[in-house]
A and B are shown apart, each in its own frame.
Chain A
């Protein structure tokens, strides 16, 4: 249909998009390898004059960063797991069952997806202090799991609709209850959709910043995005710029791996729910 020449044109445009997407990341990597004592200049260059690992040593020997990394991984994984479990049940009900309150549930999810989190920082800050969960993992896990729910519910219910449900009916004809049919037949079929949802939910929790700085005050629960904004470098006399970039590279690596391995799934998941993550 399209001639060879036009096809080359589209490839060229595709390359341009790649440059657009990757260039800022290249800058991040480059800056993270500059010497923290000499990178400042009145005529800064793009690439380091000399590539050094100093910044990576700095961030991994700084307990502010290492504890933040631990908090981020733990909080994001737990919140993702809980959100996916809760959403899985709801998505199944939405995709398969007729029950009162279904519309309300969907509208509520929609409202929360659009909700400005900043409208909650005041009350949550106050409530969490009264409940004693301010500056704890659970204090972040609860709102993360909540704000991730709409995305999880939509993405999963979209996936669930694709499942060949005759198999469930077949199981029910054979005498299984709705619950057994769900657990034994559908869960294995639904696993890919659930997994994709988990990736998108993880991205959301990994990225979240506003609640992270509002509901934490020490390295007990402070996540990486929050810690980055407090980062001061190896000493107070050293600029934190290059160290922040090294920390940024470290926390970008999991994202790159997930994207490289699960590219197809992520695209399908994003467009299935038509929701932001």
Chain B
């Protein structure tokens, strides 16, 4: 299975690049291989550069201008003042904290829930494929649809939640924390399957004889989990965490559909969208885009350097 090979590479310590010996004479065959490799990967490379790197540089340039599409003639070079405008505006920091709360809570809950799911899928004997099929449905569903499902379930005039739990006419979308609760609930429902499948792949890799040895030595189920299973899954856990964290950090669909950003539920992606597309304020909007990108770079850096997340497996190099 693909899984096996991937995770085996994780378990072994990162192999240091061998000190390069004097380059051997490049044979005709090698040269041909290089040319073919470049030719085959060129389209992917060109597309990725043109559609992401170029617009990002364009965003950096635009962020230095006072530029509104509603007033194109008034385009002025303003240096870094858009950045100071954004960073001194409480809206940025409110949206930052909203994004942070949604990310921290949903990823935290998903990690625990996802591990529980993975463990059940690992141990279950009857109905294994049924459970795996069922768990894939939330994964495949459109996020906007998930947002509507949860919104209407909690909404006063259409939802069953208040009736079932005897909450009367409690308005979930009337204030920040309860709105965030429903947003996070939808996010968790939709994305836990992804994290649990990644964790399952890691779980399958934990050598069975290690478990057995611990069991023979008298370790309880909890001790086996904490001392044997989890440490052996560290690489899989970190990779799942990194991907889900960055995915949650760009959350947009759920708050857009459920609250339209009301009651301080606007996220950073939402703010970037609103400034650029709704308000056509491309100068300030671009500086928000660049700042958003920088936050992602910082998160990735913390994971890779701080938590030593080994990305060689996801990058696909051996």
Contacts and interface: CB of A to CB of B under 8 A. Distances in A.
Interface residues of A, number: 111
How many interface residues does chain B have, given as a range? 35 or more
Contact of B6 (A106, A158, A178, A256): A158
A209 interface: yes
Contact of A42 (B136, B157, B269, B290): B157
A89 B47 CA distance: 13
Interface in A9-66: 10-11, 13-15, 17-18, 20-22, 24-25, 27-28, 31, 39-46
A11 B300 CA distance: 38
A122 B36 contact: no
Nearest to B249: A116
B55 A260 contact: no
B144 A229 contact: yes
Given A11-B124, A98-B37, A271 B276 contact: no
B129 A271 contact: no
A93 B317 contact: no
Contact of B120 (A17, A21, A94): A17
Contacts of A260: 133
Main secondary structure of the interface of B (DSSP, over half): helix
A114 B252 contact: no
Given A44-B159, A121-B289, A225 B137 contact: no
Interface string B122-145: 011111111111111111111111
Nearest to B161: A44
A105 interface: yes
Given A105-B45, A122-B282, A146-B51, A110 B131 contact: no
Contacts of B30: 98
A120 B145 contact: no
A249 B6 CA distance: 36
A153 interface: yes
B137 A158 contact: no
B273 interface: yes
A259 B296 CA distance: 31
B295 to A, nearest CB: 8
A206 interface: yes
B58 to A, nearest CB: 4
Interface string B32-58: 111111101101110111011001101
Interface in A216-272: 224-225, 228-229, 241, 244-245, 248, 251-252, 255-256, 258-260, 263-264, 266-268, 270-272
Contact of A98 (B34, B140, B269): B34
Contacts of A39: 158
Nearest to A97: B37
Contact of A21 (B47, B138, B153): B138
A146 B120 contact: no
B253 A228 contact: no
B59 A209 contact: no
Contacts of A89: 40-41, 43-44
Interface of B: 1-3, 5-6, 30, 32-38, 40-41, 43-45, 47-49, 51-52, 55-56, 58-59, 62, 69, 117, 120-121, 123-146, 148-150, 152-153, 155, 157-160, 163-164, 169, 189, 193-194, 197-198, 200-201, 236, 239-240, 243-244, 246-247, 249-250, 252-253, 256-257, 268-270, 272-273, 275-277, 282, 285-286, 289-290, 292-293, 296, 300, 311, 313-317
8 contacts: A27-B149, A28-B149, A102-B37, A108-B45, A120-B55, A123-B286, A263-B136, A270-B139
Interface of A: 2, 7, 10-11, 13-15, 17-18, 20-22, 24-25, 27-28, 31, 39-46, 86-87, 89-90, 92-94, 97-110, 112-127, 142-143, 145-146, 149, 153-154, 157-159, 161-162, 178-179, 203, 206-207, 209-210, 213-214, 224-225, 228-229, 241, 244-245, 248, 251-252, 255-256, 258-260, 263-264, 266-268, 270-277
